[in-house]
Amino acid sequence: MRRELTDQGFQELTTAEEVDAFMASAEGTSLVVINSVCGCAAGLARPAVTGALEELEKKPDNLVTVFAGQDREATEKMRGYFEEVPPSSPSIAVLEGSELKYFIPREQIEDHDLEQVQSHVSGVLRQMVK
């Protein structure tokens, strides 16, 4: 579950301090995945993100992930940076610096097929990653 993202170059943030340090130094575009053990994370969110990244020529500057339900403090801290959106996992966020620019909540992941979610992620990244 974790390695599916870390094997693709995602930095896993497991503590609140790691999240704060990342956000304090974040530059450029970041793709943040709030990972989860649920079926829609395994069957949709993680494969959609990795598939979208494979098809893009220009990738985000930073790829990071926190794991909801396991690394609770890190997840809570990351969600604190997304005050305008309710907690959701799995979910996918795009940041510019430390500012949230786009958010894909669980509701836009579950009950969709893999191609729809992957297309959504890749479309957002094509627009945001310069």
CA distance 73 to 96: 23
Active-site option among 26, 40, 45, 66: 40
Tokens of 100: 């949230």
Ordered strands of the 99-104 beta sheet:
11-12, 62-67, 29-35, 91-96, 99-104
Active-site option among 2, 12, 14, 38: 38
Residue 56 catalytic?
no
Residue 64 C-alpha from the chain's centroid: 7
Residue 100 catalytic?
no
Query: Where in the sequence numbering do the catalytic residues fall?
Result: 38, 40
